[in-house]
Structures are given as structure tokens and as C-alpha cells.
Amino acid sequence: MSAVLDFLTAPWEHLFMRRAFAVAVMCGIVSGVIGAHVVLRGMAFIGDAVSHSVFPGVAVAFVLHFNLVLGGAVAGLLTALAVAVFSQNRRLKEDSVIGVFFAAAFGLGIVILSTAPGYSGSLESFLFGQILGISDSDVVTVAVMGLLLLLVAGAVHKELVTVSLDRETARAAGLPVFALDIVLYALVTVTVVISLQAVGNILVLALLITPAACARLLTDRIGAMMVLAPAIGAGAATVGLYLSYAYNLAAGGLIVLVVTAVFILCWLLAPRHGLLATRRRRRDPDGAAARRRASEPRPTVDGMPTETTTAP
């Protein structure tokens, strides 16, 4: 018991670990909420595209000697805007447009960096994360930006869900579909940027998509998904940091491995959509149908359940 208590409390004795836990949990929560919209939209590739599209901005910032995160944010937002504009032509699927700009942005970043010798060490933390080396100002920045992201996401939640489920119906209902596309891309971009220090540019997609994918397997309700995804993200980030401290391994990589392990468990054991549940239904289709009918809510009148009776 004492060993377990020591394991749980030891990291909190260090200021750098307290900062890391704060940023990891905040990034996990924000990424879970925004990632839920991304998964609902079926556009997981946008996270990968945005995480790489910030690369030329970071390269320019490095060459000109100003803030790397700010440079990455500007480049990411510009790329997200370009994707939103070109995706309005429905002849091309969204993932095709994302692929075009993802490759172009990454190529531009490589070209820019080739003009600046000696860059690899300076960009290592950007590419692979450096959550154990963040400062108090980084914690404040993530907290403020994360709160703003959650407020914006909450304000347009219903509209984003409507567009995700049926774009044409949303457009017919008078919703500004193009503007909502830009809002979502911007939310994803800022989420990626604030998560870079936690897991780095290469692994940030996992923090954005995997918790939401887990929640999608666990529930059919969008509201529950919006709660489960950030909970899984924050929990995985916390466990990953504990393992990093205990075994002196890379924090960002362990966070991603933990959340991936959670995804595999959900894929296997989710009560309705997991592999085992699906196989049980195939073996006993009649029993599964009966249980589904039994679990359906009964008709109600003024909130009270009605009894179904038959005439004698």
C-alpha cells in the first residue's frame, strides 16, 4: 500500500511534473471535445494535415528568430482556411483537398528549413514534445486558449453537429455551412498548436482523434461522447505521465501508447459496438433483438410510462 501511495504522490513533489500534469490534462480535455466533432465529421485526416501544416510556419519563425508556436499557429490557420475554401467544391472529397495541402505545407516547411543550417536540435521539442520542460507562462497560455476553445465549441455545438450529420439539410435550414467549416478548422488548428508541447507535432493526431474514437465505440449519444472523449484524453495523459516518471521514458510517446491501448480495449470490449459484442449478436441474433426491444424506452404520456394491454 505504501509503495502505491509513493508512486501516486512522488511526481507531485516536483514543480515541473505539476506543470506537466496541468498541461496534459487540459490538452486531453480540449483535444477530446474538439476531436469528437472531427470524428463525427469523418475527417480525422484534418488533424494530421493541420499538425503538419504548421511546419512551414515554425520553419519561418525559426529562420526569422521569433516565437515558434505563433508561427505554427498562423501557418495552420492559413492552411485550414485554404482547405475550407477548396472543399466547397463537392466534386472533390474533403480528404482529397486535405491531402493536397498537407503535402504542400510539409514540402514548403522542408524547403524553408533547408536554408537554415543547424535547426534540428532547436525543433526537436516541437516535433516530439517537451512537456516536462514547460514554463508557468506555457501553462497559463494553454489554460486561456483551452478555455476559449471550449467556449467557442460549446457556442456552436448544435450547428457543428447538424453540419456533420447532413450538410445539405444544414444548408437548406439556413445554416452558414462554409463559416462553420472555417470555425471547425480553426478550432482544430488551435487545439493542435496548444497540444504540441504535450506530445509534439508528430504524435498530436493521436491525442485529437483516439479519445474521440474510443467514445464513439462506447456510446451512440453525442452528448455522452462529448463527455467521454475528454475524460479518456485527460486520463490517458495522466497515466502516460506517471509511467514516464516511473520508467524515465518519453512522456509524449507514452501518452499516445496509453490512449491507443484504451482504444484497443474499447474496440474489443465496447458493450454494443465492440468486437466481442458483435460476435455475440451474430451467434444469437434473435436473443439480441429481444434484448434490444426490451431496452427501448416505453411510450410516455406527460412523462409517465404507459402500459400496453390487450383486450380479453
Higher pLDDT: 71 or 202? It is 71
Q: Is the pLDDT of residue 13 over 50?
A: yes
Round to whole Å and give the CA distance between 292 and 204: 38
Name 304's bridge partners. Answer: 301
Report pTM: 0.80
> Which residues contact residue 25 at a Cβ distance below 8 angstroms, ignoring those fewer than 6 apart?
234, 237, 238
Q: Is the pLDDT of residue 238 over 80?
A: yes
Tell me which range, 35-39, 73-77, 135-139, 247-251, is most confidently predicted by mean pLDDT: 35-39
Question: Per-residue pLDDT tens for 72-113?
Answer: 888 888 887 887 788 776 666 767 777 787 778 878 877 877
Question: Per-residue pLDDT tens for 260-296?
Answer: 999 999 999 999 999 999 888 888 766 655 566 556 5
Q: Is the pLDDT of residue 301 over 60?
A: no
pLDDT band at 52 (very low <50, low <70, confident <90, very high): confident
Q: Is the pLDDT of residue 180 over 70?
A: yes
Find the mean pLDDT for residues 6-14.
87
Round to whole Å and give the CA distance between 290 and 260: 34
The amino acid at residue 267 is W
Q: How far is CA 58 from the centre of its chain?
A: 21
pLDDT band at 310 (very low <50, low <70, confident <90, very high): very low
In this predicted structure, what is the pLDDT of residue 308? 44
Q: Where are the domains of the chain?
A: 2-285
Nearest to 277, CA basis, from 297, 285, 213: 285
* Domain 2-285 CATH superfamily: ABC transporter involved in vitamin B12 uptake, BtuC (1.10.3470.10)
DSSP for 23-74, please give it.
HHHHHHHHHHHHHHHHHHHT-THHHHHHHHHHHHHHHHHHHHTS-HHHHHHH
In this predicted structure, what is the pLDDT of residue 34? 95
In this predicted structure, what is the pLDDT of residue 303? 44
